Amino acid sequence: MTYPKKELHVACNYLLRLMKAHVELSNEQINLFKRTFHDILSKRFINHWFPATPNRGSAYRCLQTKHWKDPVLRSIAERSCLPLHRYLPVIFTMWIGKFSFFFNNQILS
C-alpha cells in the first residue's frame, strides 16, 4: 500500500512556514512536528489514498482549523507539544491530494 510521502512533505512544510511567521521554532520543535505530522497522517491515509483515482477519499484527507474541532490537527498539536491554534490561521481548510494540495481555494504543489 502506498501513501502520499511527497504530498505530506509539501503540506507539512507549508504549515511550518505559516507557523514560523508567528513564532520562532527550534530545530527540535520542527523535527518533532514533522515526525508527528507524518506519523499521524500516513497512518490515517493508509486506506484512503488511491493514486489511480485521486478524488476518491478526498474528504477524509481534509484538515480544518474551524473551531479547532479537527481531531487530526488536535492530535498533531498535542503530540508535537505545539499550540497550533496560536500559530495557524483561525479558519483554513487543507486537502491533501495526489500531485498537489489545496489550501482554502488555492492550489499549491
Number of structural domains, the chain? 1
Higher pLDDT, 45 or 19: 19
Which candidate, 81, 76, 86, 90, places its Cα nearest to that of 11?
76
Residues of the domain holding 79: 5-108
Task: State the residue for C-alpha cell 478526498.
Answer: 58
Strands in 93-97's sheet, in edge-to-edge order, are: 62-64, 93-97, 100-103, 106-108
Half-sphere exposure of 85 (CA within 13 A, CB side): 10
Higher pLDDT, 93 or 48: 93
Q: Write out pLDDT tens, residues 37-54.
A: 999 988 887 766 666 665
- pLDDT above 90 (res 74): yes
Domain at 77, CATH number: 3.90.640.90
Q: Please state, rounded to an integer, the average pLDDT across all residues of the chain.
A: 80
Cell numbers found for residue 2: 502506498
Per DSSP, the three-state class of 108 is strand
Identity at 100, one-letter amino acid code: S
Half-sphere exposure of 46 (CA within 13 A, CB side): 4
